[in-house]
Amino acid sequence: MTISPNVIRHKAAVTRPRRETLNGHKSVNLWFTGLSGSGKSTLAHAVEERLHLQGKRTYVFDGDNVRHGLCGDLGFSMEDRRENLRRIAEMTKLFLDSGVISLTAFISPLAEDRARIRDIIGPDDFIEVYCNCPLEICEQRDVKGLYKMAREGKIKNYTGVSSPYEPPADPDIELNTGTQPLMECVNMIVDALRARGIIF
């Protein structure tokens, strides 16, 4: 963790536990990882919809949306991807402090980077959700046409084609998003949050 020099952290009177009490649930981060087209964003938004209808305070950080603003200055080199994830992890910590359940949908292809994210956020606040979907199914979906362009050499360093994806060895939740129905996946995640005492 980088500490800024000559900066003293302010101790707030309204704390995370007080915010969680007001919200009626604990805060946590659900980190969705998987190949492009594996269903990360679709699942994250479906889980958020379920939680929202239950009166929970939530927010989804989607990889594409974040790159339009906070990380708009970054490219797709390994160094820029690493910085992109670092910024998201630090922002997620702020949302944890606010008492919100955050859902982050990022390919985050390297195990080393995901370990760093877990360290920044904190292992007790980080739930890794692996959207396990075969590459061929992801390519069949290819909603944005990016796999096609990567295969044609028009996009370089594309995860799963010309750049590696390292599947989590021991994810907190693993879902077979190529075959499992969406609502079944949503139910599994909500059940896991309830089992952990995040929601009641």
Across the beta sheet with 173-175, the strand order is: 58-62, 101-105, 28-33, 126-131, 173-175
**Selected catalytic residue, list 27, 108, 162, 163:** 108
Distance CA 197, CA 200 (A): 6
Q: What are phi and psi of 153, to 5 degrees?
A: 80, 10
- Decide: 148 and 142 in contact? Cβ < 8 Å: yes
Sequence letter at residue 61 = F
Question: Known catalytic residue: 162?
Answer: no
Nearest alpha carbon to residue 182 among 64, 48, 25: 48
If you compute the radius of gyration of the chain from its CA atoms, what whole number of angstroms results? 17
Catalogue the active-site residues.
Answer: 108
